[in-house]
Amino acid sequence: MPGKKSDEKVKAAVTKHYSKMAKKSKSCCESEPRGSELVKIYTAEELAVLPKEAKDSNCACGNPVAIAELEPGQVVLDLGSGAGVDVFLAARNVGPKGKVIGVDMTDAMLEKANKLAKRMGFDNVEFRKGEIENLPVVGDSVDVIISNCVINLVTDKERVFREAYRVLRPGGKLAISDRVLVKDLPDEAREDLDLWSVCVSGAVMEGEYLSKIRKAGFVKVKVTDRRTYSEQEARSFVKTGVEERKKRRRTLDEETAVQAFLAVANDRIVAFKPAK
């Protein structure tokens, strides 16, 4: 697994990948046929209110808004907001008296999300450029933090959870969807930056992930659901990336990539910052 020294390399690969996803309107977590993954994640009603461009660049592996139990007037923060899908869904729930802030490090994603927010007429959303390990948000100011398939991409996950804890108000809630490991990754997959960028190789074992959340100070940490992939789904994910990899002369074989996808689960996790 890339250690601290390769954090820069990971960030460069991840930023490059998501710039492409934003500019080419591609979804990183897509299988065939296009859109088949999204309907497993969001309800038909949620998908109907989202613009096509947001869905096309969506890179979700779960639906954190569905476990966030948002209320009108709340302040919500989305870690790694991408094209803004979860920000827009949360903004409907918190209403005009609430606010949703999305933080992302990739300019092309921020540009796209801002354009869509304007077009959809939201004035209770704001996208900020920044790294989720160093949040551009003041302490004790957020009611609920959501995040969708992002923390797995970060080498220093403990720092992300410390930052999440800092910005949440006492009693505030963390409601996230993310990829964790339920089996060991094949050795050759661990160092593969393409598999890291598509939210596979940066994942850690579920138990380790939960202890990092607890170590930051969170309590009542609970996995609310866990979805693994069937072999057919794993093969479909790998197939969509094969041509791209061939063009770039990447050597990781397809079978290893399939085994890597079979080692991950999409978890939804809730946790709380203790009330004072």
The DSSP result for 210-243, as a single string, is HHHHHHTT-EEEEEEEEEEPPHHHHHHHHHHHHH
**Half-sphere exposure of residue 142: CA atoms within 13 angstroms, side-chain side:** 27
Pick out residues in 66-105 that bind ligand SAM (CB under 6 A).
Answer: 80-83, 85-86, 104-105
Q: Which residue's Cβ has the minimum distance to ligand SAM?
A: 82
Residue 246 C-beta: closest distance to ligand SAM, Å = 23
Pick out residues in 12-41 that bind ligand SAM (CB under 6 A).
Answer: 14, 18, 28
Identify the residue among 31, 63, 74, 106 touching ligand SAM (CB under 6 A). Answer: 106
Instruction: Using the minimum distance from each CB to ligand SAM, give the nearer residue, 145 or 274.
Output: 145
Instruction: Using the minimum distance from each CB to ligand SAM, give the nearer residue, 105 or 116.
Output: 105
The answer to whether the CB of 30 falls within 8 A of the CB of 60 is no
Q: Is 181 in the site for ligand SAM (CB under 6 A)?
A: no
Q: Is 155 in the site for ligand SAM (CB under 6 A)?
A: no
Instruction: Using the minimum distance from each CB to ligand SAM, give the nearer residue, 8 or 255.
Output: 8
Instruction: Using the minimum distance from each CB to ligand SAM, give the nearer residue, 86 or 206.
Output: 86
Pick out residues in 119-148 that bind ligand SAM (CB under 6 A).
Answer: 131-133, 148
Residue 274 C-beta: closest distance to ligand SAM, Å = 26
Instruction: Using the minimum distance from each CB to ligand SAM, give the nearer residue, 49 or 219.
Output: 49
Across 31-57, b (16+ Cβ under 10 Å) vs e yields beeeeebbeebbeeebbeebeebbbbb
Strand 219-228 with 264-272, pairing: antiparallel
Q: How many residues does the chain have?
A: 276
Q: How many residues lie near ligand SAM (CB under 6 A)?
A: 25
**Half-sphere exposure of residue 116: CA atoms within 13 angstroms, side-chain side:** 29
Q: Which residues contact 144 (CB under 8 A, 6 or more apart)?
A: 68, 70, 74, 75, 76, 77, 172, 173, 174, 175
Residue 58 C-beta: closest distance to ligand SAM, Å = 4
The answer to whether the CB of 213 falls within 8 A of the CB of 157 is no
Identify the residue among 65, 199, 263, 264 touching ligand SAM (CB under 6 A). Answer: 199
Q: Is 50 in the site for ligand SAM (CB under 6 A)?
A: no
Instruction: Using the minimum distance from each CB to ligand SAM, give the nearer residue, 31 or 58.
Output: 58
Q: Is 58 in the site for ligand SAM (CB under 6 A)?
A: yes
Q: Is 154 in the site for ligand SAM (CB under 6 A)?
A: yes
Q: Is 237 in the site for ligand SAM (CB under 6 A)?
A: no
Q: Copy the structure tokens of residue 240.
A: 């969509």
The answer to whether the CB of 245 falls within 8 A of the CB of 252 is yes
User: In terms of C-beta density within 10 A (0-12 exposed, 13-18 middle, 19 or more buried), how is residue 15 classed?
Assistant: middle
Q: Which residues contact 211 (CB under 8 A, 6 or more apart)?
A: none
Q: Is 117 in the site for ligand SAM (CB under 6 A)?
A: no
Which residues form the interface with ligand SAM (CB under 6 A)?
Answer: 14, 18, 28, 58-60, 80-83, 85-86, 104-106, 109, 131-133, 148-150, 153-154, 199
